[in-house]
Structure 1
Amino acid sequence: MKLFNAMLLRLKRGAAVSVLSALAATAAGVAPAHADWLKAESERFIVYSDGGESKLRDFVQELEAYDRFLRLRMGLDVNEAPPRKLPIYLVASRRGLTQVRPDLPENVAGFYMATDEDIFGIALRDQTVNTLKHEYAHHFMMQNFSYPYPGWFVEGFAEYYATVEVEKSRILVGKYNENRAYWLQAASWMPMAELLSKRPLERARNRDTYYPLAWLLTHWFIGDADRQKALDAYLRDVGAGGDPVEAMERATGLNPTELQRTLRRYMNGRIPYQAVTVAYPPAPLTVTRLPRSADDLLLLNQRLKVGVPEDKRAATAEEVRRATARHPDDPLALLALGHAELHFGDPAAAEAPLQRLLALDPNHVEALQYLARARLKAAEDADSLEETDRLSGEARAFLHRAYRADDANYATLLLIAENRNGGEGYPNDNDVAVLEQAFALAPQLGEARINLAQVLMIRDRNAEAVPLLEPLVNDPHRPSAGARALLLRAKGMTEAEADAEEAEILKKGEAEGEDTPSDSPAGD
C-alpha cells in the first residue's frame, strides 16, 4: 500500500552514527567488571536492557520486523537501513524512567526524546510495546516522509501502527486499543471540523477524543482501496494549502456532519483488521555486556542529554560526581562527569575528564563535541575579538576531529553550523549543505528543521522552509511557538490572519450536527 506518493520528500541515506559504548578494557589492559546492562545492536537499532538476553534478542527481532513491515506498507525498500540507528533503553520499573526524566507524569510506560545531543526511546521492559511502536511510527514518518501532514493524520498514523502484532509467519495490523475504543463509545466526540484542523486547537471541544478519532479516521481510510486514494487526494490538497475541512469534502464527498455519521457506522460495525502473511529472516545482531559503570551512569547520562531544570542542576551535578567517583578512569564515567560539569556544575572542571577520555580514545566523538561546546560558550563570553577568534578556532579543530571520526553525526554538523553562525559570508553554500545534511540525519529534531529553515529564508528560499516548519507547528504533542512565528514569516502571513483561520475552523465545528455517543461495541 502506498499512502505517500511522489509529493513526499525522501531523505538522503547516510552512514549510521556512532553511539556511546564502553571500552573493552582500561588503559592498563584489565577487563572491567560487568554490569547488569546488555547492549544489542542490529542494522536499525541499538537496544540497552537491564534484563535477560533472550528477551532482549526477541525484542530487537520484533522491532526489526516492525520497521520492515512499515517500509513494506509505505512502498519503501524493506532492506534499506536508516541513516542513524535508534537507541532504545528497556528498564524494569518506573524508577528507570525517572532516572532519565525525574518529573515524568504517573502512568507513563515509556517516552521518546529528540534533543541536540541524542534521539532515543525508553520504555518499561516487560509491558506492552504499543507506546514504543507509536513513538517509532512518528520517528519513521519524520525520517522518511517530510511533509506538512495535518496533526490528526500524524497521530492517526502512529495510533494505527502502534497495535501491530508481529507473529512468526504473519503480522496483524489494524487492531484497536481498548482505551481508545472506550472513549469513542462513551464520550462526546470532538467536532470533525476541529479534528481536521492542520494543527491542534487549544480551544477545541471534547479534546479527550482527539487520539481515538484520529485513529478511527485513519483506520477508515486505510481499510478500503478507494478510500486510500481519497486519503492521498486529501493529503495532497491540504499539503498544497487547501482548507482542511473543505479538502475532506472534496476528497470524500462528505461534509463534517456526514463524515461523523459515517465514522459512527464504521465503528459500530465489526472493525476489520488484516493478517498479512509475511516472515522476515532473523536480523543479524550482536549482544555485549556493558562495564559495571553502566549500572550507575547509563541512564543518568541520558538525563544530562534531556536537560535538567535550573533548580535541580546543582543537585544533578553532585549526583554525577558521587556516581563517577566509584568508577575512576572509566570511559562512561569520564564522559558523564565532563558533561555534568560543563552544563550543570563547574565548566572549568569539565576539561580534565574529557581530555582524559580523549587520551584513552582519541576519536571519542562525544568527548570532542563537549570540548567544542565548552569553547563555543567561552567564545560567546569572551571580552575581546581576538579571544573569541582563538576559542572559535579551537572549537573548529575539535569538530573537525569529530567529523573525521564520524561524518554522519548530526550533533557535530549542528555544532559546525553554530560555530559558523555570524561569520563572514554566513550562510554560504557550504553552511546550507551542512544544515541540510544535519536535517537528513535527524529530521525528528526541531532544532535541525528550524536552523535549516532560517538559513533558507535568509537565502530567499522561503518556499523550501515551509514544509520544514509545518510538521513542528502541526505537532499535537509539542507544537512549537517559535516554529509558528517563523512559518508565518515564510508564508508572508500575520498573526491576525492565522487567528482568523483558526476562528473559522471553530465556527465550522459549532455548525456541525448534534453528536450522540453510541452504546454499540467497537468491534474486534
Structure 2
Amino acid sequence: MCASPAFADWKKHESPRFELYSAGTDREARDMLIELEKFDYVLRLFMGQDVTEVPHRKLPIYLVTDSGLGTIWPDVEDRIAGFYTSSDEDIFAVATRGDNNHTLKHEYAHHFMLADFAYPYPGWFIEGFAEYYGATEFKTSETRIGIPDANRAAALNYLSWMSMSELLSNRPMAKARNADSYYPLAWLLTHWFLGDATRRQQMVTYLHDIGSGTDSVTAFQNATGLTPTDLRRTLRRYMGGRVPYSILRTEFPEFQIQITALPDSADDLLLLGQRLKSGTTEENRQSTLEEIRRKAARYPEDTLALLVLAHAELHNGRDPAKAVDILERLLLMEPDHVEALQYMARAKMDLADKAFEADEYSVAVGHRNDAQSALRTAYAADDANYATMLLMALNRTGEPSYPTENDLEILAIAYTLAPQLGQIRLTYAAALLHHDRNAEAIAVIEPLVNNPHGENPAAKALLLRAKGLTEADIAAEEEALRRKAEEEAEEGDPQTPPPATD
C-alpha cells in the first residue's frame, strides 16, 4: 500500500497569461487572476493589440503575507506592497494580500510594454503609461481607466516643475533641476495626451516619429505644434481644470483557471527559492544557505527541496561541484526537469571557468560540453524557455567563433521570449554589433537606456557604439538641454490648484 503524497498549503493557479502561487483561499487567487486577465485585455484593447493573444511565457506571481514578502526580500522597505524583478533565472512579481493590486498592475504595465512594443519610448512615457493604466478599476458593470492620482496632483501643486525639454528628452537626466517632479509630470503629460481623441492621435504620430529616429523634443513639437514653453502653460491649465478618465463597458471573456497542489516542501522552501533568484546582500548570503540546508534536509527525496538546495549551494555556497552532486540525484528522479537542467548547465559553466583559470583546458572543454548537453535536454523538454536559450549563448561566449549566425538566432529567440530581461538585450545587442547590424542593436538596447528606473552604464556604452557617438557627444547634448531648461526657468513657475476629476 502506497502512502498518499503530502501537499503544502501552497497551490499554483494558472490562467491563460499568469501563474499565481498562493497559500490563501482559491477564491482570493481566482479573483486576482481574473482582475489581471481583464487588465491585460484592457491594455491590448487600448493599444490596438489582439485581445486573444497569449504571451510566450506566463508571468509568475507570488501572493504573500507581509512576512512572506520579507522571506523573499529580507531587506524590503516599509510600505512596499510588492515588486517585480527580472533576472537570467526568472522573471516574476510579488504581491501582498489585502493590497488593491495597484502596484502589481503598474509593474505589469511595464512588463507588457517591453513585451509588445518595439519603439524606444522616451522615459517619461514608460513611467506615465504604467501610472495611467495601473490605476484601472474594475466595477460590476464598468471599467474605469486613467483615474487621476490625488497624490500626484498634490505633488505638482507644491513642487517646482522641471523643464519640459528635460522631461521630454529620450531618457531622464539624474542631474536635472527639480528632478523630483519627473514622475508626477510624466503622469500628467500622459493624462493630457490620452484625455482627448485628437491628442491621442497626436501621441501616435509623436511616438512613430521617435521610432523613426527623431529626438523626443522635436517629435513632440512636430506632432502637437507646441514648444516646451507652450506645453508648460498647457499642462498648468489642464491641471487646473477637470482631469478626465475613461469608462469602458464591455463583456470580458471567461478565463479558465487550473489549480495544482504543490508538494509539502513548498511551505518551507518555495519563497526561499525566489529569494535566491531575486538576490540578497552579502550579509544574508550565508544565513540563507544555512536556512535552506536545514529545511531541505526534511525532504531528502523531494525535487523542489533538492532544486532549491542545489541553487543555494551553487550561488550562496559558491560550490558548483556540490550543486552538481545534488542535481544528479534530482535528475535521476526527473530526467526532464528543465530548471534542474539549467542549474546543472550553470554549475558546469562555473566549473569550466575554474578549469580555464587553472590552465586545465581539456577539463574546461569537457565541462562546457556537459553544459551544452544539459541545455539540449532542457530544450527538448521545453523549446520556449528563455533561460535555456540565453545559457546556450553564454556557454559559447569564450569560443573564438562566437557569435556565429546560429548564436544570433538563439539570442533572437531568447529576446522574443523575454524582452523584459536586460541581460538578454545587452548580450543580443553586443552580438548584433559584432556583425555590424547597428540599427537592429539600437532597437534592442535603446529601451533599456531610456528606462527611468536608473541608469545602465553597460547599455549606454553599447548604444553609443551602435550610434557612433562618444561621451563628449552626449555631454554636449545634455549641456544643450541644460541651456534650454534655464531659458524655460526664466518664464517663471506659477502655482496652480490641484485638479478636479471627471
Q: 1:52 aligns with which of 25, 45, 49?
A: 25
Counterpart in the other structure of 2:494? 516
1:189–1:517 contact (8 Å) kept in structure 2 = no
**2:201 counterpart of 1:229:** yes
- Aligned to 1:38, the other structure's residue is in SS state strand
Q: Percent identity?
A: 54
Structure 2 vs 1, CA of residues 151 and 292 (structure 1 numbering), >3 Å: closer, same or farther? Answer: same
| CA–CA distance in structure 1, aligned partners of residues 409 and 65 of structure 2 | 42
Q: What SS does the corresponding residue of 1:287 show, helix, strand or coil?
A: strand
Task: Supply the AA of the counterpart residue of 1:103.
Answer: D
Work out the CA distance in 1 between the residues paired with 2:469 and 2:258.
Answer: 52
1:370 aligns with 343
Q: Is the 8 A contact 2:239 2:496 kept in 1?
A: no
Find the counterpart in structure 2 of residue 20 from structure 1: none
Q: Offset of 1:424 from its aligned partner? A: 4.7
Structure 1 unmatched ranges of 5 or more:
1-27
Structure 2 residue aligned with 1:428: 404
* Counterpart check, 1:81 vs 2:54: yes
1:29 CA displacement: 5.6
Query: Following the alignment from structure 1 to structure 2, what is the Cα–Cα distance between the partners of residues 460 and 87?
Result: 36
For the pair 1:399 / 2:371, whether they are aligned, the reply is no
Which piece of structure 1 moves more, 270-279 or 162-171?
Answer: 162-171
Distance 1:169 1:81 in 2: 25
Which residue identity does 2:46 align to in structure 1? R
Matched residue SS, 1:511: helix
Asked if the contact 2:106–2:131 (Cα under 8 Å) also holds between the matched residues in 1, the reply is yes
Check if 1:256 corresponds to 2:233.
no
Q: TM-score, normalised by structure 1?
A: 0.92
Distance in 2 (alpha carbons) for counterparts of 1:103 and 1:281 = 40
Q: Is the 8 A contact 2:154 2:498 kept in 1?
A: no
Instruction: Determine helix, strand or coil for the equivalent of 1:296.
Output: helix
Distance 2:310 2:24 in 1: 28
2:174 is the alignment partner of 1:198: no
Residue 268 of structure 1 contacts residue 523 of structure 1 at CA under 8 Å; is this kept in 2?
Answer: no
1:399-446 CA distances to partner (integer Å, 9 max, x unpaired)?
110000001100000111111223253222111100000000000000
Q: Deviations over 1:238-271 (max 9, x none)?
A: 3333232232222211112211111121122111
**Residues 1:302 and 2:245 are matched in the alignment:** no
Match of 2:65 in 1: 92
Find the aligned partners of 2:3 and 2:443 in 1 and give their Cα distance: 52
Structure 1 residues 344 and 283: alpha-carbon distance in aligned structure 2, compared to 1, 3 A threshold: same
Give the alignment of 1:24-423 within 5 angstroms: 30-93=3-66, 95-345=67-317, 346-382=319-355, 383-423=359-399
Q: Which residue is equivalent to 1:440? A: 416
User: CA contact under 8 A between 1:197 and 1:245: conserved in structure 2?
Assistant: yes
How far off its partner does 1:78 sit? Answer: 0.7
SS of residue paired to 1:36: strand
Structure 2: distance between partners of 1:385 and 1:348:
18
| Root-mean-square deviation (Å) | 1.5
Query: Take 1:68 and 1:209, find their aligned partners in 2: how far apart are those partners?
Result: 31
1:42-70 per-position Cα deviation (integer Å, ceiling 9, x unaligned): 11000011221111111101111111111
Query: What secondary structure is seen at the aligned counterpart in 2 of 1:199?
Result: coil
Q: Is residue 349–residue 395 contact of structure 2 (8 Å, CA) maintained in 1?
A: yes
Q: Is 2:129–2:190's contact at 8 Å kept on the other side of the alignment? A: yes
Shift of 1:309: 2.8
Please give the secondary structure, in 1, of the residue aligned with 2:200: helix
SS in 1 for 2:243: coil
Q: Deviations over 1:144-164 (max 9, x none)?
A: 102211000000111110011
Structure 1 Cα separation of the partners of residues 345 and 498 of structure 2: 61
After the TM superposition, which of the residue ranges 269-278 and 347-356 deviates more from structure 2? 347-356
Tell me how far apart the structure 2 counterparts of residues 164 and 82 of structure 1 sit (CA, whole Å).
21
Mapped partners of 2:172, 2:500: distance in 1: 25
Report the AA paired with residue 339 of structure 1: H
Q: Which residue of 2 aligns with 1:22?
A: none
CA deviations on 1:195-237 (whole Å, 9 max, x unpaired) are 1111111111222221111111111111212111211222223
Deviates more, 1:251-260 or 1:81-90: 251-260
Tell me, in whole angstroms, the C-alpha distance in 2 between the residues paired with 1:520 and 1:466.
40
The farther-off stretch of 293-302 and 180-189 is 180-189
> Where does structure 2 lack aligned partners over 5 or more consecutive residues?
none
Q: Structure 1 stretches (4+) deviating beyond 4 angstroms?
A: none
Q: Residues of 2 paired with 1:284 and 1:504: CA distance? A: 54
Determine if contact 2:165/2:217 at 8 Å carries over to the other structure: yes
Equivalent residues, number? 496
Aligned-residue offset at 1:33? 2.5
* Contact 2:153 2:498 (C-alpha < 8 Å) held by counterparts: no
1:400 is paired with a residue whose SS is helix
Mapped partners of 1:521, 1:224: distance in 2: 16
CA distance in 2, matches of 1:440, 1:355: 31
Q: Distance in 2 between matches of 1:98 and 1:279?
A: 38
User: Deviations for 1:47-106, whole angstroms, at most 9, x for unmatched residues?
Assistant: 01122111111110111111111111111111110000000011121x222211222222
Partner SS state of residue 90, structure 1: strand
3-state SS of the aligned residue for 1:219? Answer: helix
With normalisation by structure 2, the TM-score equals 0.96
1:475 to 451, 465, 469: 451
1:453 aligned onto 2:425: no
> What letter matches 2:374 in structure 1?
F
Aligned-residue offset at 1:113: 0.3
Structure 1 contact 185–521 (Cα < 8 Å) conserved: no
SS of match in other structure, 2:371: helix
CA displacement 1:90-140 (0-9 Å, x = unmatched):
1121x2222112222222111100000000000112112111111100100
